[in-house]
Structure 1
Amino acid sequence: MSDTLIVGATGLVGQSVVVHAAEPLTILARREIADLPARHRLIVAPPERWPDIVAAEKPATVISCLGTTIRQAGSQPAFRAVDHDLVLAVAEGARKAGSTHLISVSSVGANAKAGNFYLRTKGEAEDGLRKLGFDRLDLLRPGLLTGDRQGPPRLGEGLAMIAAPLSDALLHGSLRRYRSIPAEKVAKAIGALVGNPAPGAHIHENDAIRALAD
């Protein structure tokens, strides 16, 4: 049994975490994953069962790479069901199991008081995670994620990735946090955080994520 469990392993960041993780992971997913490294263990179950499965697995560390888009989800309520409700349900299962460390991928600009629905939902999820009282909580807030995404193409993200080198060059000072970042960098930062014993809640934005990855 692995000491580290990941949800959201089929997304852009989660896929990279699975590839780069040196230690074995327990992967909780809603479907089979092709070409999974032999060192990892896969549990396939519907999301409504995930909190109970996490509680039964009793991992020391839980990594949450859960995330979708409003367009992909089909509606704001469906988006919130994943990026807020499922994130918190898994985290609650982890706390019941006695997990001490949660690493969660959020978004740059996350703020529970934001006027933007997407950023407000991300901020509310962060606030909910803080209230659960993990010994250590790491919140990663990347900007636009770049990399080879599996599944249906996202037109808006594709265009943004093409424009990223130019837009990144215009972002300086406090705006650097909005620069794009390779999903692989975020995954390597997550790997560097696993097992960190320092307590408290920690927020990692673009420069901090890159420093951890390197």
Structure 2
Amino acid sequence: MKLMILGATGAVGSEVLRQAVKQKGFETVVAPTRRPLESPGAARNPVISFEQPLPEADWWSVDAVICCLGTTLKQAGSKQAFYHVDHDLVLACAERAREAGASRFALNSALGANPDSRSFYLRTKGETETGLARMGFERLILVRPSLIDAERNETRPAEHLGLLAGRLLSPIIPKRYRPVSATAIAATLLRELSGGPGVVTLESEQIQ
């Protein structure tokens, strides 16, 4: 299987890349990024701007895609910029890969994703899931983690406090709302690529 990883510089995407290059089931692994990866391993690492229209290239021709693209409202600077990354860019990449032959797509989404949500963040995630479902992938995997437990390059004070509270209160918090490790999310995304046709939604408590 030829695999593409989108968002390989992020907490989950980098873990997907680390695990993928160690597995024997992938003929090739390609990880396009905005800046060169420090340790791409055996992966091909084209550096692109991710501006639309996306560039035409032979590396879009893969069998499966794992998408971990995403930002925060603070990083993006505005709702419009956030929507551009977490919705528009995800769908544009998915469409380009689909046109090039990809039949399987796995998305690292978010717990509570819903196109009808009052939360802008969760509504965006839900609309992205809906858009992907309309593309006709043979197998679509939507993974919805709760708070992600991972080391990050950037500082996220609110998330850090949430993780500390989640770790301390884990025994009494329902499993769905407990922090989930990037390692477990990556393993789930990779494992689910090999299933049968259909749309599969995995909630946070199902990630392992």
What is the TM-score normalised by the length of structure 2?
Answer: 0.91
Q: Spell out the pairing of 1:160-199 with structure 2 (5 A cutoff).
A: 160-172=162-174, 176-194=175-193, 196-199=194-197
Computed over aligned residues only, the root mean square deviation of the Cα atoms, in angstroms, reads 1.7
Equivalent AA in structure 2 for residue 157 of structure 1 = E
**Is residue 2:86 matched to residue 1:97?**
no
Q: C-alpha distance in 2, partners of 1:53/1:28?
A: 12
Q: C-alpha distance in 2, partners of 1:28/1:147?
A: 22
Decide whether the 8 Å contact of 2:185 with 2:207 is kept in 1. Answer: yes
Deviation at 1:166, TM superposition (A): 3.4
Corresponding residue of 2:133: 130
Decide whether the 8 Å contact of 2:12 with 2:185 is kept in 1. Answer: yes
SS in 2 for 1:102: strand
The number of aligned residues is 203
Q: Which has the higher helix share?
A: 1
Q: Could you say if the C-alpha distance between residues 4 and 91 of structure 1 is closer, same or farther in structure 2, counting changes exceeding 3 Å?
A: same
Bigger shift: residues 197-206 or 78-87: 197-206
Q: Percent identity?
A: 39
What is the TM-score normalised by the length of structure 1?
Answer: 0.89
Decide whether the 8 Å contact of 1:54 with 1:93 is kept in 2. Answer: no
Decide whether the 8 Å contact of 1:28 with 1:50 is kept in 2. Answer: no
Decide whether the 8 Å contact of 1:68 with 1:79 is kept in 2. Answer: yes
Bigger shift: residues 107-116 or 157-166: 157-166
Deviation at 1:90, TM superposition (A): 0.5
Structure 2: tracts of 5 or more residues without a match: none
Q: Could you say if the C-alpha distance between residues 63 and 40 of structure 1 is closer, same or farther in structure 2, counting changes exceeding 3 Å?
A: same
Q: Could you say if the C-alpha distance between residues 50 and 44 of structure 1 is closer, same or farther in structure 2, counting changes exceeding 3 Å?
A: farther
Equivalent AA in structure 2 for residue 3 of structure 1 = K
Corresponding residue of 2:11: 12
Q: C-alpha distance in 2, partners of 1:163/1:191?
A: 29
